[in-house]
A and B are shown apart, each in its own frame.
Chain A
Amino acid sequence: MRRLKQFGLMLSLIFLAACGTTRAEIAPTFEQAAEEAKQSTVNFYMWGGDDGINRYIDEYVAPRLKETYNVELNRVPMDTAEFVRQLSLDKRANREEGTIDLMWINGDNFRNAAEADLLQGDLLGKIPNAKLLNEEAQATDAGTPTNGLEVAWGNVQFVMHYDADKVKNPPTTFDELHRWTEENPGRFTYPEVTDFTGNAFVRHLLYAEYGTAGGDGEIPDEFWEKLATWSPTQWKQGTTYPKSLAQLDQLYAAGDVWMTMGFNERRAEAERENGVFPSGTRALVLEHSIASTHFLAVPFNAKNPNGALVVINELLSPEAQLAKQDSTYWGDGTSLDLTKLDTADRDAFLKLDEGVTYPDPERLAERSIPDYGPAVIDAIREEWDRVAK
């Protein structure tokens, strides 16, 4: 019985400790935030499936932060949707002091987080480097206005890659791509539409068919019927699809399929150099390519929001953005407006090596299209099952 009492006492103590927490305050200016953040740790939640991205954070960004601001950066690898769900559970449990300080987010995950009121607002004014941002990229996220709830981190376009040793006459339009898959059965597939990239591929097909008119979220039956005709000559006769882009990349690396795809026009360079992708890997730009921006956001219950501001400011510095765009680590396009930088920085960006797997930048820029809104993403998710059947 005595043991039971001790146990109950312990429990109630834990309860009391849990109930005493309140939301952390953001300092009014960046200088004060930097002062507050000294010797603190920032938990940075981000998708962890790419080695180059991880190394950029661990080997480049983290040491710089430690040196300049005395802030410890802890990269936590987790799927975006998972930590958004965690935040929504926090909200429900009234957990005012959470575990996430900073997160990498975009697209429908941002839309969900914004709708559920999971993000801190008014970030831009407190971050000095935010004035260098490309205003167009900062304005909307896959059709959803950002309203200062997130800060643009990188800006990329959708590009396909193929193995030139196996594909002699690469297609130039989505129609030709369809014909190519028929001539080369089993050599093409795309990720499931629950995946960010797979969904974007289907949006490209939709755009090829209907242009901007496809953006109302009503997808005609003919489109699905036409898409279903791709199936018989796809990988595994279209009975199954890779669950994620990483799985498609695995198939491409193994030579099972001859094309892969993804946001970020420079993403194949390091993979090719490391011998993961075949050496014949080249870029393929079809009629149009969706431009996509990805962002940084601070959750409502961040324990260390001041530290998060410091990290965001550092990630937006021209040097960090330049290192990010370099193919050594990641090859991710900058979210800064080059015209706002001084000449030396601007030249450094323009001078970044031409890559073997890079598409022609001018051609890519002229074929860039804005994304449809989240309504289309959802509609594709709900109706695509018909094709997978």
Chain B
Amino acid sequence: MSRSSLWLSLFVLALPFTGVAFLIYETIGFDWSELNDAAWRASLAVTLYVTVVSTVLSLVIGTWLARSVYRHRSTWLASLLRWPMFIPHVAAAYLFYLLFSGVFPFYGLIEANERHHLVVIFTYVWKEVPFVFLMVIGTYAQLNRGYLDMAKTLQLTPFKQFKVAEWPFLVKPLLDSFWVLVAFISFAYEVPALLGVTFPELLGVLAYERLTTGLFLNAYESYAVALIWTLFIFIGVISSYAVTAKRRRRIERGVRR
């Protein structure tokens, strides 16, 4: 049973790699200096800002919530956190757009379509915190309380307790979540298209725009950007997993006892 599903999975997952192959084929002979224009540079800066802020906030809040659910056994919070997961990103973006473009009382304080991209970040954090929570809560569920009790017995500070008794086990789920979020947020279209501004645009929006409007020449720019970005994330993923591999394996062995 598992073998046939493996083959089917491999066949299906070969498809996106044909996409990457196509990009490589298309960008042969591309003049890379063309990417050095103001729009792409500004886009890279704002994309990094939005991605890093949203990802870090989601990771911190998600972990913190999982931790308090684990410690206080607050099942109400766990079931509440399920709600944002039901909402597709498009729909979430539209709901935030409705709320922050004039209908809501704090219009003017925070609003959609402004340069700090606060509502974009807000939307992502709201959507991704439950995701991080889900990834992390599994780890907490199987965490051996003995480590924590030992840390307490040794009278370590709360921070140290976290560092020695919880953090080592969180590395893997957090690393997973980190890269999933970075890859998703940095090249998404829907949310920033609805909530972002004309300049600077996030990478996904700019790439899509240059792809569908105007000259075909611009398409190669988008292909090139999509390719670099994909490879950049691949390298990030592979190297960060390689760096932590040894540590993770040691911990995994420990967990299995």
Contacts and interface: CB of A to CB of B under 8 A. Distances in A.
A198 to B, nearest CB: 10
Interface residues of B, number: 24
Q: Which of B11, B39, B212 has the most CB of A within 10 A?
A: B212
Contact of A241 (B11, B193, B198, B216): B198
Contacts of B11: 7
A145 to B, nearest CB: 19
A337 B212 CA distance: 34
Contact of A112 (B38, B198, B216): B216
Given A3-B4, A85-B211, A240-B198, A116 B216 contact: yes
B252 interface: no
Contact of A7 (B7, B198, B199, B211): B7
B36 to A, nearest CB: 14
A236 B108 CA distance: 11
A73 to B, nearest CB: 25
A383 B42 CA distance: 15
Contact of B38 (A7, A240, A385): A385
Interface string A1-23: 00110010000000000000000
Given A4-B7, A7-B7, A236 B114 contact: yes
B213 A194 contact: yes
Contacts of A246: none
Interface in A1-50: 3-4, 7
Contacts of A381: 213-214
A240 B193 contact: no
Nearest to A79: B212
Interface string A82-96: 100100100000000
B115 interface: yes
A256 B113 CA distance: 14
A381 B172 CA distance: 45
A82 B42 CA distance: 26
Nearest to B199: A388
Interface in A61-97: 79, 81-82, 85, 88
A60 B89 CA distance: 37
B214 A88 contact: no
Given A4-B7, A236-B114, A243-B193, A385 B199 contact: yes
Contacts of A88: 216
User: Chain B at the A interface: mostly helix, strand, loop or mixed?
Assistant: helix
Contact of A240 (B4, B8, B114): B114
Interface residues of A, number: 26
B209 interface: yes
A267 B198 CA distance: 26
A378 B216 contact: no
A269 interface: no
B251 interface: no
Contacts of B215: 108, 112, 378
Interface string B190-218: 00010011110000000001011111100
B102 A256 contact: yes
B212 A85 contact: yes
Nearest to B194: A243
B197 A240 contact: yes
A351 interface: no
Contacts of A194: 209, 213-214
Contacts of B219: 85
A222 B211 CA distance: 29
A82 B214 contact: no
A226 interface: no
A371 interface: no
A385 B211 contact: no
A192 B211 CA distance: 16
Nearest to A1: B3
Interface string B222-237: 0000000000000000
Interface in A364-389: 378, 381, 385, 388-389
Contacts of A256: 102
B158 to A, nearest CB: 43
A240 B113 contact: yes
Contacts of A85: 211-212, 219
A236 B113 contact: yes
Contacts of A243: 193, 198
A328 interface: no
B141 to A, nearest CB: 37
Interface string B1-14: 00010011001000
Given A7-B7, A385-B38, A385-B199, 13 more contacts: A4-B4, A4-B7, A81-B213, A85-B219, A108-B214, A112-B216, A116-B216, A239-B198, A239-B199, A240-B196, A240-B198, A243-B198, A378-B214
19 contacts: A81-B214, A82-B212, A85-B219, A88-B216, A108-B214, A112-B215, A192-B198, A194-B209, A236-B113, A239-B113, A239-B197, A239-B198, A240-B197, A243-B193, A254-B102, A378-B214, A385-B38, A385-B39, A385-B199
